[in-house]
Structure 1
């Protein structure tokens, strides 16, 4: 075989780039025998693709319509070796001699492109492809999918600037009346509240949960959930369950329970608001699911996943971590591909985007509040009183003589 190997080498080890950053690398060819080709080129491509199904009811007839939409952000080709005329066609023939050949390149990722994303029947992918253009036979190519990120700070966005500025907690309440056999109707309810809306991966959100079971039957489990809401083409919505924590197994009839500051650590996730993307939209929410005899109650509060933490948060370091997969997957869903990519399907399916994750996040306001509470705690007050009594007892006392006492009394 003339071409024994073709490899794309990129300078970045983790293949993570930010919008506006340069992708530097080289296309390395190993030639066993001299080969005649038209040239060598490199291709940079970024696109979003979504596929969804819609059911239309017309009287007694039901029709399933399958939609597929693609949005291309850039698709640039550059000649690394050979000649290209003004109509972008290859002209002439080139001979690659035996040995190892290296063709360096660099490319600046356009500004304001959405970050990489992988979901059911939808994705945003960016690829680098090196191609050997041949006259006879198929072209030989090698491709690598890169991870593109974009910083997102809700405080700088007009519609999200007030995400964490409200002094009040974010709350949602669900209540329902349940029927009984011979007694008056009972009521069941659940309430969820969060201290703020915007958070970063690695941060711990402390939720407050309140559940009332004013019925005659024992309730089922109560769970705290983190969900991802994907919108396809602005018309179809799909909800994925990312994390689920069982709060309790159930409540007895007439019982109500409250959990203050129930912790939920945010996993590595794609940031909210896929900027400049008209094909997909990603949102998140935290919900409480309370199961009762006849109904299931939901309370949900939307949250925003950002990449820049608040000023009062302190962290030790941050790194890139693979996105958390969903707990509920539908086997009938099939992933789609970017047109023109020659990478095998198995290698494309193995691609998992990475996002920023902050380690050991501390809330300085919470630490300050704890110090204030400890300063005025009852045990500390008791110790201060005991210390004052000891100081009073330890003070030196002066005893007056009997003559001084009589003289002072006469005076």
Structure 2
């Protein structure tokens, strides 16, 4: 029996949180240590580290040619994102390194590429994985290997103009019974933005107009579509991640959703930058139309990692709730607003006489000026802007003024 002196070989990654595994993104530094525990002294040739990250797809399709011949076709592809090698311990000059019994720690660190990486992903026909692999080379012994995977999440900030833009659309279909038309069913839906994060609620504003002679049931679903591409062929898998059902819309009736909420479950972020793997999300507002296929209105979604800022959330929520109701107000406002009416036109002559202060007696050198009407002076100041705000009182009280006693 061969006695193995290696009791433990492990890779430990540094994490800012004690109980949580580390999560990295492009440009981050991955650091940790390789732990080697020996039960007795051991000679080592090398201890090598290999950091790797790639996206891979693979699936098999069976095809038949005739009644008796069948064959299978394999599809696979790979895109590399990380490939780094480093020797943590290397024998110099052909001499082996003697390590004493006990525990030995070999620290390491490397930086992830600055270019955009792809978020870690596990799918039915492909995956995106990142890992650190360590190999221990010893004379007259098999190579000892250990592998440690780590998670990479590429941030997606939904606080961008493209992801804050509202999404809306309209679709319609004709209901049929046998070969007879029974009327038309139409759907109009809108959501306040395109980007969301897991746990958020999407308010749906929709209108279902059922002009047919049969009842229809509206629904809203969130779907995830995984796309895998290899050798010019695409394989897809669709999954429903959230559903919302509404009340039946009777014949010749109309129903409105004023912000019906559908919640996004804990799902992975969208993957849009990989050449062979994509993860996309869609909000589908559907209606089952009798006698034909389902009427479906698709509104694209992007699931991000950086949530909406408080200011952006308030602005988008207000605009989403009232943008439709304020259309009439935008049409009613003129491009050039009229000036406000004169003060004298909105009060009576008696009120003007009571509010006007008693004018002093004119002097001889002002007789020519007072011959001008009073409104001529008012007209010069009608459209002047108000005075600028200042924290300093332009008319401070005199220093010799005694303070007023509050008890008097």
TM-score normalised by structure 1 residue count: 0.65
Cα deviation, 1:102-159, whole Å, max 9, x if unaligned, reads 1111111111222212222111111012221234443222222111122234677xxx
Count of residues paired in the alignment: 310
Quick check: 1:129–1:144 contact (8 Å CA) kept in 2? Answer: yes
Which of 143-152 and 184-193 deviates more?
Answer: 184-193
Task: Please point out which of 347, 363, 367 is paired with 2:314.
Answer: 363
More displaced stretch, 64-73 vs 40-49: 64-73
Alignment-derived partner of residue 101 in structure 1? 104
Looking at structure 1, the residues matched to 277 and 181 of structure 2 have their Cα atoms a distance apart, in angstroms, of 48
Cα deviations by residue, 1:199-239 (Å, 9 ceiling, x for unpaired): 333433211232333333333x5321112222322741524
Which residue is equivalent to 1:164? 164
Aligned twin of 1:207: 204
Q: Retained in 1: the 8 A contact 2:213–2:251?
A: yes
* Residue ranges of structure 1 left out of the alignment (5+ in a row): 86-90, 315-361, 372-411
CA distance in 2 between counterparts of 1:121 and 1:303 reads 23
Is 1:175 matched with 2:172?
yes
Query: Which shifted more, 241-250 or 282-291?
Result: 241-250
Distance 1:300 1:8, change over 3 A: same
Q: Are the counterparts in 2 of residues 199 and 309 from structure 1 also a CA contact under 8 Å?
A: yes
Distance 1:267 1:255 in 2: 33
- Contact 1:52/1:232 (8 A) holds in 2: no
Partner of 1:192: 189
Residue 145 (structure 1) aligns with = 149
Quick one: structure 1 residues 183 and 46, their matched pair in 2 at CA, closer, same or farther if it must change by over 3 Å?
A: closer
Q: Distance in 1 between matches of 2:157 and 2:233?
A: 27
2:138 to 121, 129, 134: 134
> Taking structure 1 as reference, are residues 270 and 235 closer, same or farther at Cα in structure 2, changes over 3 Å only?
farther
Distance in 1, Cα, partners of 2:213 & 2:300: 32
- Is 1:286 the counterpart of 2:283? The answer is yes
Give the unaligned 5+ runs of structure 2: 323-408
Q: Is 1:76 matched up with 2:92?
A: no
Q: Residue by residue, what CA displacement relative to the aligned partner does 1:170-220 show, whole Å, maximum 9, x if unpaired? A: 22333221223697532223333222222333433211232333333333x
CA contact (8 A) 1:287 1:298 kept: yes
**Structure 1 residues 63 and 125: alpha-carbon distance in aligned structure 2, compared to 1, 3 A threshold:** same
User: Does the 8 A contact of 2:242 with 2:264 survive in 1?
Assistant: no
Q: Distance in 2 between matches of 1:202 and 1:260?
A: 20
Report the secondary structure of 2:177's partner residue: coil
Deviation at 1:23, TM superposition (A): 1.0
Kindly name which structure, 1 or 2, has the bigger radius of gyration based on alpha carbons: 2
Q: Which has the higher contact order (CA 8 A, sep 6+)?
A: 1
Shift of 1:79: 1.0
Secondary structure of 1:363 counterpart: helix
Instruction: Check the 8 A contact 1:229/1:237 in 2, yes or no.
Output: no
Instruction: Name the CA distance, whole Å, in 1 between partners of 2:179 and 2:133.
Output: 72
Contact 1:180 1:186 in 2 (8 A): no
Tell me the equivalent position of 2:52.
45
Distance 2:54 2:271 in 1: 16
Paired residues of 1:47 and 1:73 also in contact (CA < 8 A): yes
Residues 196/58 of structure 1: CA separation in 2 closer, same or farther (3 Å cut)? farther
2:229 matched to 1:229? no
Cα distance between partner residues in 1 of 2:251 and 2:72: 45
Q: Aligned equivalents of 1:369 and 1:288: distance in 2?
A: 18
Distance 1:370 1:163, change over 3 A: closer
Distance in structure 1 (CA, Å) of the matches to 2:71 and 2:175: 38
Compared with structure 1, are the counterparts of its residues 101 and 162 closer, same or farther at alpha carbon in structure 2 (3 Å cutoff)?
closer
Moved more, 12-21 or 288-297: 288-297
* 2:215 alignment partner, SS class: coil
Give the CA RMSD over aligned residues.
3.3
Asked if 2 retains the 8 angstrom alpha-carbon contact of 1:312 and 1:365, the reply is no
Match of 1:303 in 2: 301
Q: From the superposition, tell whether residues 63 and 151 of structure 1 become closer, same or farther in structure 2 (CA, over 3 Å).
A: same
1:257-314 C-alpha deviation (Å, 9 max, x unpaired): 2212122333444443543x32212222111232244332211111223333455547
8 Å CA contact retained: 1:192, 1:300: no
